[in-house]
Structure 1
Amino acid sequence: ADYEEIERVLLEEQKKDPQHRRDLRDRRKRHQSEEANVIVKVSREQIEELSKNAKSSSKKSVSSESGPFNLGNRDPIYSNKFGNFFEITPEKNPQLQDLDILVNAIEIMEGSLLLPHYNSRATLIVTVVEGKGEFELVGQRNENQQEQREENEEEEEEGQERSRQVQRYRARLSPGDVFVIPAGHPVAVSASSNLYLVGFGINAENNRRNFLAGEEDNVISQIHRPVKELAFPGSAQQV
C-alpha cells in the first residue's frame, strides 16, 4: 500500500511539472502528424520503382512468376490465323492464387469464331475492348417464362418438355459491353470485325475449359460411340 501511495504522489507531481505537459503535447503532435501522413502523394517514377519489387504475400509454393505481368507479352495458350487466346491461371501465379481468379485476353479476327465451350468451375466477367461481334450462351430458361409456357401447352410430350428447360441467349457486342459467362454454361463468340476481349474469372482454381467442337480438346469426341448412342438421340455419327 505504501508503494502505491508513493507512486500516486509521484504521478501527481509529474502532472504539475510544465516540462511533462510539454512532452505530452509533443507526443500528441507527432502522433497526429503520423496519422496525417497515412495517405501520401507519389510520382509516376516512384510507382514504377515500387512495381519492380512488388511481390505477393502468398505463402503457398508455386513454381512460377510472382511479380506484375503483362498478358500481351505472354505466349497464347491457343493461337492460329483466326486469333489468339491469352490466359494466366491461379496455378501459374501466386497473386491470382490468393484471389482465386484467372485473367485472360482474346483476339478474334473478323469473320472468325471462338468455338463453343464451357468452364467447369469459373464464372467469367468479360468486357469488349475493341471491335464488334455476337455471343451465344445456353442457359436455363427463366422460371416464370417456363411456368407460363407450361400453362399454355399442358399436353406437350416429355421430350419437348425437357427441351424447354434450356434456352439460347444471343446478344450483339460492341466496345464497352460487359457480359457474364456462368460456370457450366456453353458459350460461343463470333467476330463481325476484329474483336478484342478482356476478362477475369472467379472460382478459377482447378477450372477446366471444355470445348464442344473442334479437332482438339473436344469433350464430345472423347465420348465412346456406344455411350453416344445411348445418351444422344439420333446416330453417333451425327453427334
Structure 2
Amino acid sequence: MAIKTRSPLLLLFFLLFFLLSAVFLHSSASDQSEDLDELELNGELDESEEEYLWNQQDPARREYQQCQQRCQRQQGQSQQQCRRSCDQQLQRRRQRFRQCQQQCQRRLPQERQECQRMCQQQSRQGTEVNQDRSNPYYFDYQSFRNKYQSPSGHFKVLHMLTDKNPQLFEGFRNYRFAFLVANPNTFIQPHYVDAVSILVVVQGRGTVSLVCQEGRESLQVERGHVIRVPAGVLVYLSNPDNNQVLQIARLIEPVLIPGLFKEYFITEIGNKGGSVLSQFSQEVLESSLNTPRQEIERVLQSQRRPAIEKASPELLRKLSQQATSSPRQIKEILRPFNLLRQKPAYSNNWGQFFEAHPRQHRLLEDLDVSVNIAQMKQGSIFVPHYNSKATTVVLVTKGRVRFEMGCPHVSSMQRQGGAEQGQMQRIVAQASAGEAFLIPANHPVASTAVEDAETVGFGIRTHNNERNFLAGQNNIINNMEDAAKALTFGPQQIEQVKRVFRSNPNESYFVGSKRREGGHHGVSWILELEGLAG
C-alpha cells in the first residue's frame, strides 16, 4: 500500500525534472543563437565561424545542394559546366553578404546594427531584386536546357522568355537563343529547321554547308563570322580542328508556331524519333526513289546516330577542302561576313565594340535584327547608355560581366516595400560564360568586366534605333543648354554639372573602373541631391 502511495509522487518528480531540463536546454540554445548573432553583427566571425553560419542558417547551402543534384542528370562537359555554375552562384551569394557587411561598417554607429541585421535577412530570405533568382532579366546557366547532347558536344537552348515573365516579355515570344558547342573532329548531322537562324561563331573554325533546291554552298567559317540559315534549308556543320572547340551563338526566329521550333533530321537521331524519310509508306518511297524496299530499309534502319558525333578526320578534311571562305554564287541575302574584321563602332585601350546593322547587311535586313560583339578588359566599364528602340539579349561567351540597369517595371509587378508603379529600381546581375542578360529598350545600362570578357548581343527591332550615352566624352547631357541644365539640376549646381559631365574628355564608351570609398561623388551626388536617383 505504501508503494501505491509513493508512485504518483515519483511520477510527479520525473515530470518536474523533464520540464526543468527542457527549459534549461532551450535557454542554452537561445544564448548560443544570440552569441552567434552577436558575433555576426559585430563582424567578428572568422572563416570557420562564418562557414558554420552558412551551413546551419542560410538556405544558400540547401539551394546549392539542389543545384548539384540537378547537375547529376547531365553528362560530360555539360555536367562540369553545371557544377561550376552552382559553385559560382554560391560564391556570388556569399560575396554579396560580405560586401553588404563591409558597407555597414561605413555607416554611422547608430545605423550599423540595423544595417547588419538587414544583410542577414536578405542573405537568408533571398528576396533582393539584385539577387539572381528574382532578377527577371538574368538567365543563368541552368536556364539553358540541353536539346541535344553527346560526348562530342551539345546544343543548349534558352527557355522561352515568356516562361520567366509573360508580362515583361510577351512581345518577344518568337525569339529564341542558343549555344552550340562541337568538340574537335566532330560532325553535326544534316537537318533543317522551321525557323530562321543567325549564327555567330564565337570560338574555333569549321565548315557550314547549306543545301537547297538550287544547289549547295559550303562555307569556311571562323571566329567572328555571322551566317544566316533560312528556314527549311538543309544544313550540316563540322569541326575539323584536332584541338579547338567550335562554339556558336545562335538567334532563332520560328516561322510556324511562335516561340517553338523543330529540327528535322535526315537520319534517325537518338531517341528524338524517326528521320523525315521514315515518315512515308514503303509504297511512296519505292515509287519515289525507284529503289527496292529492302535497300531502302537498310539505309533508313541503320544505327541511330547522335546529333553531334565524332567523325573521321579524313572525311572532315575533305569537307573543309570543298568549302570556301568567299562564296560567289550564294544569294546576297545569305552572304556571310566576319564582324571582327570590320571597323569597331567603339574602341579604345579598355575595349572594343563591333556592331552590324540591318541597314548595312541584307542578311539582317528583313529580320530587323542587329548583331554585336563586345571585348572588354578586366576592370573596364561600358559606360551608361540606353537604346531608343532595340531590345538586346547579351550572351556572355567568355569571362564574367556585371550588369547594372535601371528598370521601372519590376517594382510595379512585385509591389513590395511600398514601391509605387513606375518607380525606377536598380537591377544588378553578374553573368558568367554560358549565361545571358536582357536589356529592354530605353533601360539605362552599364556593364563591367569582372575579368577579361567577351559577349555576343542580338538586338531585336533595331529599325531607326539610336544608342544614347549618359557618360563619357559624347554623352547627351553635354548637348543640353546651360539653362536646361540649371532647370534640371538646380542653378547653384550648374558649374559642377558641367565639370562632372565633361570630366572625362579623353574617354568615351569604355573606361577603367575607379572605386571610391565613402561620401558622395560626381553624378551620384548631383542626382541624389535632386532626388533623381533610384
Q: Deviations over 1:191-230 (max 9, x none)?
A: 12111011111101211111000012x1111111111222
| Aligned with residue 323 of structure 2, among 33, 48, 65 | 48
**Distance in 2 (alpha carbons) for counterparts of 1:120 and 1:47:** 44
Kept after mapping to 2: 8 A contact 1:75/1:86: yes
Structure 1 residues 118 and 76, CA gap change in structure 2 (3 angstroms): same
Q: Secondary structure at the match of 2:443?
A: coil
| Aligned with residue 223 of structure 1, among 468, 480, 484 | 480
Number of aligned residue pairs = 188
Partner of 1:125: 393
Partner of 2:412: 143
Partner of 1:72: 340
Partner of 2:425: 167
Partner of 1:156: none
Kept after mapping to 2: 8 A contact 1:117/1:209: yes
Give the alignment's Cα RMSD to 1 decimal: 3.0
TM-score normalised per structure 2: 0.32
TM-score normalised per structure 1: 0.69
Q: CA deviation at 1:173?
A: 2.0
Matched to 2:365, the amino acid is: Q
Partner of 1:196: 454
Q: Deviations over 1:107-156 (max 9, x none)?
A: 01111100000001100000111112311010114214446515xxxxxx
**Distance in 1 (alpha carbons) for counterparts of 2:393 and 2:284:** 50
**Distance in 1 (alpha carbons) for counterparts of 2:336 and 2:413:** 46
Q: CA deviation at 1:232?
A: 3.5
**Distance in 1 (alpha carbons) for counterparts of 2:382 and 2:320:** 40
**Distance in 2 (alpha carbons) for counterparts of 1:233 and 1:175:** 44
* More displaced stretch, 221-230 vs 46-55: 46-55
Q: CA deviation at 1:70?
A: 1.3
Q: Secondary structure at the match of 2:405?
A: strand
* More displaced stretch, 223-232 vs 201-210: 223-232
Matched to 1:196, the amino acid is: E
Matched to 1:229, the amino acid is: A
**Distance in 2 (alpha carbons) for counterparts of 1:27 and 1:127:** 45
| Aligned with residue 351 of structure 2, among 73, 83, 97 | 83
Q: Does structure 1 residue 186 correspond to structure 2 residue 444? A: yes
Q: CA deviation at 1:106?
A: 0.2
Q: CA deviation at 1:28?
A: 8.6
**Distance in 2 (alpha carbons) for counterparts of 1:171 and 1:50:** 38
Kept after mapping to 2: 8 A contact 1:146/1:165: no
**Distance in 2 (alpha carbons) for counterparts of 1:192 and 1:126:** 16
Kept after mapping to 1: 8 A contact 2:387/2:441: yes
Q: Deviations over 1:5-48 (max 9, x none)?
A: xxxxxxxxxxxxxxxxxxxxx99955466xx9xxxxxx845983
**Distance in 1 (alpha carbons) for counterparts of 2:325 and 2:348:** 37
Q: CA deviation at 1:174?
A: 1.1
**Distance in 1 (alpha carbons) for counterparts of 2:386 and 2:354:** 17
List runs of 5+ in structure 1 lacking aligned partners: 1-25, 37-42, 58-65, 151-160
Kept after mapping to 2: 8 A contact 1:139/1:185: yes
**Distance in 2 (alpha carbons) for counterparts of 1:84 and 1:209:** 16
Kept after mapping to 1: 8 A contact 2:431/2:437: no
List runs of 5+ in structure 2 lacking aligned partners: 1-282, 291-295, 297-317, 498-534
Matched to 1:82, the amino acid is: W
Matched to 2:368, the amino acid is: D
Structure 1 residues 27 and 173, CA gap change in structure 2 (3 angstroms): closer
Matched to 2:369, the amino acid is: I
**Distance in 1 (alpha carbons) for counterparts of 2:496 and 2:331:** 52
Structure 1 residues 204 and 144, CA gap change in structure 2 (3 angstroms): closer
Flag the structure with higher helix content: 2
Structure 1 residues 171 and 50, CA gap change in structure 2 (3 angstroms): closer
**Distance in 1 (alpha carbons) for counterparts of 2:494 and 2:322:** 59
Matched to 1:48, the amino acid is: A
| Aligned with residue 115 of structure 1, among 383, 386, 391 | 383
**Distance in 2 (alpha carbons) for counterparts of 1:32 and 1:49:** 31
**Distance in 2 (alpha carbons) for counterparts of 1:30 and 1:74:** 52
